[in-house]
Amino acid sequence: MDLDIDTVRVARTRADCVLRPGEAFLGGGTFLYSEPLHAGVTGLVDLTGLGWEPWSVDESGLRVAGTCTLVELVAGPGALGAQGPYRGLGIVRDCVSALSLSAKVARTATVGGNLALGLPAGSMIGLFAALGARAVVWTPDGGSREVAVARLVTAAGVVALEPGEVLREVRVPAAVLGQRTVFRRASLTPTGRTAAMVTGRADERGPRIVVTASVSAPHGLDARDHDMLDRWLDRIGSTVGWFEDTHGTADWRGAMTRRLAHEALDELGGAA
């Protein structure tokens, strides 16, 4: 790796997060240190120095810090989620496993970095979108705003974060934690990059299905039945189109998504 930068500042306070010209945020660095930096980036501001608690759960729900590593996510919320009051978190481990990361990379890669990259195969997007999470974003003027994770990614690699905005944390409402969730995934090879991912959750209104990886940005549907699901998938195919890259053709991804989405709806108890 040839990293051509002049400075790395470790942020200790919120004031340190105000970017100077040429600076970009650094999470775990697993992407930043593996790809050429954007033109004009001459310095990095390391967010891991802020010392945020990786995750916490209380009566308002689950909070996961932007700097929470994927290993911490699995060991914490992921371990809560087998059944009972936290059964909704049963898909955490699956969603982390859906990333084509080695154990070494997963120890460093952060939830915030995965969300901020907005890659179609960014499985933290499908996870937190299915959990109805909201992202808390620190704005450079010292304020903050919230955005639904389902709306955070607007196109492949494009996120609704303005320059200088920090993804502080994601919040999952308490009511969701005990709800049933589902996970399905397809890739060309068992350890390959995720090409289609379907996550979902059943609440009092019925099942909600979220499609990622086979589309450039997440799509979600309150799916009452399989016919409705089919019509929605048809519409995605004919309007937005299925994502295509070296990890799968558009047609194959569309077909896999359909299969996985119907399986997911069956599991969540959608009407036939």
Q: Does 189 bind ligand FAD (CB under 6 A)?
A: no
Residue 154 CB, nearest distance to ligand FAD (Å)? 15
Residue 1 CB, nearest distance to ligand FAD (Å)? 11
Nearest to 216 by CA among 200, 238, 194, 240: 240
Residue 201 CB, nearest distance to ligand FAD (Å)? 21
Residue 137 CB, nearest distance to ligand FAD (Å)? 8
Complex with ligand FAD: residue 27 or 88, whichever CB lies closer? 27
Instruction: Please count the residues of the chain.
Output: 272
Q: Does 218 bind ligand FAD (CB under 6 A)?
A: no
Complex with ligand FAD: residue 47 or 89, whichever CB lies closer? 47
Complex with ligand FAD: residue 76 or 122, whichever CB lies closer? 122
Q: Does 99 bind ligand FAD (CB under 6 A)?
A: yes
Complex with ligand FAD: residue 116 or 223, whichever CB lies closer? 116
d(CA 128, CA 134): 8
Q: How many CB atoms lie within 10 A of CB 58?
A: 8
The binder of ligand FAD chosen from 5, 18, 31, 107 (CB under 6 A): 31
Closest-by-Cβ residue to ligand FAD is 113
The residues, any chain, with a CB within 8 Å of residue 156's CB and separated by 6 or more, are 118, 119, 120, 216, 217, 243
Among the listed ranges 18-26, 84-92, 174-182, 221-229, the one in contact with ligand FAD (CB under 6 A) is 18-26
Q: Which two tokens stand for residue 158?
A: 């494009």
Q: Does 5 bind ligand FAD (CB under 6 A)?
A: no
Q: Does 188 bind ligand FAD (CB under 6 A)?
A: no
Nearest to 121 by CA among 97, 104, 105, 137: 97
Complex with ligand FAD: residue 101 or 250, whichever CB lies closer? 101
CA angle, 14 as apex, 11 and 18 as ends, to 5°?
A: 75
Residues 122-141 that bind ligand FAD (CB under 6 A): 122
Q: Which two tokens stand for residue 199?
A: 């996550």
Radius of gyration of the chain (CA): 18
Exposed/middle/buried for 1, CB within 10 Å: 0-12, 13-18, 19+?
exposed
* Sign of the C-alpha dihedral computed for residues 80, 82, 86 and 90 taken in this order: positive
Q: Three-class SS of residue 144?
A: strand
Sheet with 196-203, side-by-side order of all strands: 180-186, 196-203, 206-212, 219-222
Complex with ligand FAD: residue 179 or 199, whichever CB lies closer? 199
Binding track over 141-180 against ligand FAD, x by CB under 6 A? --------------------x----xx-------------
- Which residues in this chain contact ligand FAD in the complex, by CB under 6 A? 24-32, 34, 47, 66, 99-101, 105, 109-110, 112-114, 116-117, 119, 121-122, 161, 166-167, 193
